């Protein structure tokens, strides 16, 4: 069975994702002109988005990745956040842009932003491909948002279910029978 057979609908097409990256890249370029931009991707979900996004950012930047988890292989957050892979560079006096795939409950990103703030960057902003405010449990807002979405279980373009579906070139709604069967 192909991955796409488990998708109920395409929520955001490849073409729409390309336009989102172009728009966000232009905004970030304008905001970070003359600054010490340090882009941090939150693994694994942001990998595809960040790779496309940075090609639209036209200012010098450094890159690094970290990994946090509050989901495991489930469909909802456990509420307990773990830092799995940390950054390799100091953040002092850098203008930090955290790139994430989705802002939903806010638990993970709130933990992450607090952790990074303690390292004294000059500034911190958050860029998320998707914002799902219906699931918010923590008062947190992104500075750059690709698209706001309804409360649906989505996969593709880096987003996964049980570590699968990340390689879909679009964002689709996973059929409930896929994750309700487990």
- Tens digits of per-residue pLDDT, 7-30? 999 999 999 999 999 999 999 999
Give 97-121 pLDDT, tens digit per residue: 999 999 999 998 999 999 999 999 9
Q: Directed axis angle between helix 47-54 and helix 14-31, to 10°? A: 60
pLDDT digit string, tens, across residues 63-73: 999 998 775 55
Which residues of 17-176 form beta strands (DSSP E)?
A: 37-43, 61-69, 82-85, 95-103, 123-131, 144-148, 154-155, 171-174
Q: Are 91 and 120 in contact (CB under 8 A)?
A: yes
Q: Taking 60 as the threshold, does the pLDDT of residue 78 lie above it?
A: no
List, by residue number, the catalytic residues: 104
Assess contact for 87 and 66: CB atoms under 8 A: yes
Q: How far is Cα 67 from Cα 92, in angstroms, rounded to an integer? A: 20
> Computed from CA positions of residues 11, 98, 164, 73, in that sequence, does the dihedral angle turn out positive or negative?
negative
Please state the domain extents for the chain: 14-150
Main-chain phi, psi angles of 126, to 5 degrees: -120, 130
In degrees and rounded to multiples of 5, residue 10 shows phi and psi of: -85, 120
Domain 14-150 has CATH 3.40.470.10: no
pLDDT band at 182 (very low <50, low <70, confident <90, very high): low
């Amino acid at each position: 069975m192909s991955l796409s057979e488990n998708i109920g609908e395409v929520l955001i097409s490849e073409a729409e994702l390309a336009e989102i990256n172009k728009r966000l890249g232009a905004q970030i370029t304008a905001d970070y002109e003359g600054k010490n931009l340090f882009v941090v991707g939150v693994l694994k979900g942001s990998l595809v988005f960040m790779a496309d996004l940075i090609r639209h950012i036209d200012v010098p930047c450094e890159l690094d990745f970290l990994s946090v988890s509050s989901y495991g292989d489930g469909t909802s957050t456990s509420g307990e956040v773990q830092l799995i892979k940390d950054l390799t560079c100091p953040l002092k006096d850098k203008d930090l842009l955290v790139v994430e795939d989705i802002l939903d409950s806010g638990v993970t990103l709130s933990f992450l932003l607090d952790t990074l703030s303690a390292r004294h960057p000059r500034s911190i902003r958050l860029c998320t491909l998707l914002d799902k405010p219906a699931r918010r449990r923590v008062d947190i807002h992104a500075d750059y948002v690709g698209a706001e979405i309804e409360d649906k279980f989505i996969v593709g373009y880096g987003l996964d279910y049980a570590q699968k579906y990340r390689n879909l070139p679009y964002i689709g709604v996973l059929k409930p029978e896929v994750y309700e069967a487990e």
